[in-house]
Structure 1
Amino acid sequence: MDPVLSITVLSVVLGALIVLVFFKSYFSKRRSEVQSLAEPELQPDHKKKSVKSSQLNSKKHHNKTHSHASDKDQSKKHHPLDVNTLKGHGDAVNGLCFSSNGRSLATACADGVIRVFKLDDADASSKSFKFLRIPLPAGGPPTGISFTDDSSSIVVATNALSGSSLYMFGEEKTTNETKQQSKPEIKWENHKVHEKRAILTLFGATASYGSADGSTIIVSCSEGTDIKIWHGKSGKLCGSVDTNQLKNHMAAISPNGRFLAAAAFTADVKVWEIVYSKDGSVKEVSSAMQLKGHKSAVTCLCFSPNSEQIITASKDGSMRIWNINVRYHLSEDPKTLKVFPIPLPADLTNLHYDRLCLSPDGRILAATHGSTLQWLNVETGELLDTADKAHDGEITSLSWAPKMIPIGNEQKMVLATASVDKKVKLWVAPTLQA
């Protein structure tokens, strides 16, 4: 073949191949562009569906959460005996007490402030109680509180690393040209009263038995084994006793100031008599009797309003009512009048009460276990009512008002409770069947 012709044929073939490759590349690129232009038209619908689905799921979840919260609020029912909550405390409320005339309620708060609520003749359900703030000296938080001779004087127990202290606050009245003002100030103070041990309970009573002069006697119980008795107005130490039972749980004084009783580590309860001199002062504190009958440690106790009976609660799951109006000096033993089972739910690990308090008429017993509050008929042991979660935390103190308090158009017995949840609640007494 002619060389010129061969070169020409080869050139045509190569040119055809080049054109074929070019068009193939061109059409592939166009197809890709067409696909890329077509896909965005589908993407918005897909995204809309995805976003819409996401929003719908979110909305469903939100509605479900809102519905759950609503159900939760609805399930948190208001207890019918709960008539008021005294708010405004900045920390756990460790103690409370009513004045002897029932016109004031004092609270001891871990925020370092004593608050004295003025009840007077106000409705117990009122939301606008006036109260007096009394700042405590720098140091440890208060652990107990008690009124002294009247509603204007208060004894407060505090606890610090250096030991426990007692402060008595009284009102010093100053008169100016326009009005009379009252300013609480420290009248006396005692430090390291139980060495470095904390004060567990602080109780006061008006000494009216025998030759007593009507002064307020204060009893402080340490976490050790010692218990001390103080003259409320002067702060003088009147006497002390030792339970010799490893550690104390609590101690209380009878309403007439005659007896002192302690619940400690063992099943026996020791009772002492406070003997008064002719001039009305405390002469001595002598051992009187022991209450024997429980099978395990007694956790708490309280006196009846007439000071002739003691109610005890034990870790053995029972309560006992004792008659202590006996001639113990003639070796006559106190008598067990009644024994009742503690009506706490069986699923609790420890069927015992932490605190007891008897109503002014001696008919209704208030008792606590953790955050549970119960009311019982003293005559029969019947459980009258229960507030399973009376507070959002452990109940630290409870006290009955010594006199009826107005609620609406009626006069009712009122119980006050304090808790670590920063609240103080007022409860009306349940109705006893005739």
Structure 2
Amino acid sequence: MEVTELLVVLLVFALFALLVVALAAKGQKRWNKKSNQRDDGKTNGVFFHKCQVHKKQKQRHQKEKPHQHIFVHALLASTLKSHSGNITSMDFSNNGKYLATCADDRTIHIWSTKDFLQREHRSLRVNVKLDHATLVRFSPDCRALITWLANGDTIRVFKMKKKEDGNSTFQPMAEDFPKKHKAPVINIGIAETGKFIMSVSSDTTIIIWTLKGEVLSIINTNQMNNTYAVISHCSRFVGSCGFTPDAKVWEVCFSKNGQFREVTRAFELKGHTAGIHFLAFSNDSCRMATVSKDGTWKFWAIDVEYKQQQDPYLLLTGTYQEAASMPCILALSPDAQVLALASSNNIRLFNTKRGEEEENFTKIHGGQVAEMAFDTTGQFLASCGDRMVRIFHNTTGQRAIVEEIRGLLKRAPTETTRQRLNQQLIQAQATLKRLGAVKV
């Protein structure tokens, strides 16, 4: 009996042991299955959830980080980077020392031109509170900035002030200009004499203002719609273009004691067969350039006696390859020997004596070129279009200088003059050689 009882106890113990082993094996299998499911990303476990949150944050950060457009060219002198938004406008100061840029990041930056060829580019930041500027222009004395506000639809003037530490800053005037335009404003300008400010909208309106925001005159261009208008460097004229194939030029008249009198029609530039995209005056106000939807650009002589019914005359017609429907902008070098033409994100440089294309920069910005301008020396061409400003060496201008000096050498009256011209020729040729430019 004792043996039988012992066998029963052993059997029960063996069955219990087998049950424990089976349960343990089943638990391990279930644990392994859960672990595999977490590793495969098929459950909503804590570890997976944390990874997903981190991944989403990383993706969001990558989306918010702006794509940096890469552009490389042998004639690229420098790239200015400080804005966090798209740059919409820029302007060189009359003294040639500064470049102002504005962007939709609610800031204006003022750059030192002497840093263009340096590794670091310093800038003074000006904040535009509760708005952003779409256009910016220096005053003639460089002590104020004239801007157009995107949301305010008006002109705001920032004046330079000295801070307690001796540094300068720009502060907005107490009041903005009154709202007068009924359509989007496409350009503003200030006369170099400091006598008036001009604003032009995309309907048919140009307004001439005092520096304090009083309206002197409202011009109806009768061009269906305006595409651009600008003040001449001599401050006498305002030129406009639009839907019609003729560019119109007005004279802003003041009396000898500086009192505003009137705005009168001066002359027209006739020759294009379609609407005009853009126009520009030379620094001496003796030349103008226009670019049209007809696929041509024209270079004009305007130093005529228009009051004696003498019409401006055409000096040169050039062509460009971009689609006629694409808007084009242009810029003239200070000596009017180089014409820069921009369409989309490409820029072409032409010699205005022969109309030949000498440089072609493609895909300069991530977006369309917003504005272009030559510096006061004609050494550089600046363009903006995304978050950056590109500064180019103006080799086309250097070649024009070489050609002009060679012509002057043939007519030099004295040995002293020839020596001086030869020295200038050597310097210009050395500059071209240093930049690796051809056609020396």
Does the Cα contact within 8 Å between 2:115 and 2:122 map onto a contact in 1?
no
* Separation (CA, whole Å) in 2 of partners of 1:198 and 1:108: 17
Match of 1:135 in 2: 127
Match of 2:150 among 150, 155, 159: 159
Structure of higher CA gyration radius:
1
Match of 2:312 in 1: 334
C-alpha spacing 1:238/1:299, structure 2 compared with 1 (3 Å): same
Q: CA deviation at 1:393?
A: 1.2
| AA partner of residue 361 (structure 1) | D
* Separation (CA, whole Å) in 1 of partners of 2:399 and 2:195: 33
Instruction: Please tell me whether residue 254 in structure 1 is matched to residue 235 in structure 2.
Output: no
Does the Cα contact within 8 Å between 2:331 and 2:374 map onto a contact in 1?
yes
Match of 2:364 in 1: 390
* Separation (CA, whole Å) in 1 of partners of 2:341 and 2:189: 17
Match of 1:150 in 2: 141
* Separation (CA, whole Å) in 2 of partners of 1:127 and 1:224: 44
C-alpha spacing 1:149/1:235, structure 2 compared with 1 (3 Å): farther
* Separation (CA, whole Å) in 2 of partners of 1:415 and 1:396: 14
Q: CA deviation at 1:330?
A: 2.5
SS at structure 1 position matched to 2:176: strand
Does the Cα contact within 8 Å between 1:165 and 1:189 map onto a contact in 2?
no
Match of 1:357 among 323, 327, 331: 331
Instruction: Please tell me whether residue 226 in structure 1 is matched to residue 192 in structure 2.
Output: no
Render the CA deviation track for 1:53-98: whole Å, top value 9, x for unaligned.
xxxxxxxxxxxxxxxxxxxxxxx77211111111121111110001
Q: CA deviation at 1:158?
A: 1.3
The answer to which of 327-336 and 220-229 deviates more is 327-336
Match of 1:237 among 208, 215, 221: 215
Instruction: Please tell me whether residue 190 in structure 1 is matched to residue 176 in structure 2.
Output: yes
* Separation (CA, whole Å) in 2 of partners of 1:124 and 1:216: 32
Match of 1:39 in 2: none
* Separation (CA, whole Å) in 2 of partners of 1:384 and 1:174: 47
Match of 1:424 in 2: 389
Match of 2:344 among 364, 370, 375: 370
Does the Cα contact within 8 Å between 2:185 and 2:200 map onto a contact in 1?
yes
Q: CA deviation at 1:189?
A: 4.1
SS at structure 2 position matched to 1:329: helix
C-alpha spacing 1:127/1:194, structure 2 compared with 1 (3 Å): farther
Q: CA deviation at 1:285?
A: 1.1
SS at structure 2 position matched to 1:190: coil
Match of 1:126 in 2: 118
* Separation (CA, whole Å) in 2 of partners of 1:300 and 1:165: 23
**Structure 1 alignment gaps of length 5 or more:** 1-75, 208-214, 405-412
Instruction: Please tell me whether residue 96 in structure 1 is matched to residue 85 in structure 2.
Output: no
**Structure 2 alignment gaps of length 5 or more:** 1-69, 404-440
* Separation (CA, whole Å) in 2 of partners of 1:425 and 1:218: 28
Query: What do you get for the CA RMSD once the two structures are aligned?
Result: 2.0
Among all aligned residue pairs of Structure 1 and Structure 2, give the percentage whose two residues are the same amino acid: 29
Instruction: Please tell me whether residue 204 in structure 1 is matched to residue 190 in structure 2.
Output: yes
* Separation (CA, whole Å) in 2 of partners of 1:115 and 1:94: 12
* Separation (CA, whole Å) in 2 of partners of 1:272 and 1:77: 40
Render the CA deviation track for 1:192-216: whole Å, top value 9, x for unaligned.
5343422111233313xxxxxxx26
Does the Cα contact within 8 Å between 1:143 and 1:200 map onto a contact in 2?
no
* Separation (CA, whole Å) in 1 of partners of 2:175 and 2:278: 28
Q: CA deviation at 1:349?
A: 3.1
Higher helix share: 2
TM-score, normalised with respect to structure 2: 0.71
Match of 1:271 in 2: 249
* Separation (CA, whole Å) in 2 of partners of 1:216 and 1:301: 22
Q: CA deviation at 1:218?
A: 2.7
SS at structure 1 position matched to 2:77: strand
Does the Cα contact within 8 Å between 1:103 and 1:151 map onto a contact in 2?
no
Render the CA deviation track for 1:79-132: whole Å, top value 9, x for unaligned.
11111111121111110001000111100101111111123xx34222322211
Match of 1:53 in 2: none
Does the Cα contact within 8 Å between 2:71 and 2:364 map onto a contact in 1?
no
SS at structure 1 position matched to 2:244: coil
| AA partner of residue 145 (structure 1) | V
* Separation (CA, whole Å) in 2 of partners of 1:185 and 1:156: 12
The answer to which of 280-289 and 91-100 deviates more is 280-289
SS at structure 2 position matched to 1:228: strand
* Separation (CA, whole Å) in 2 of partners of 1:262 and 1:243: 8
Higher strand share: 1
Does the Cα contact within 8 Å between 2:242 and 2:275 map onto a contact in 1?
yes
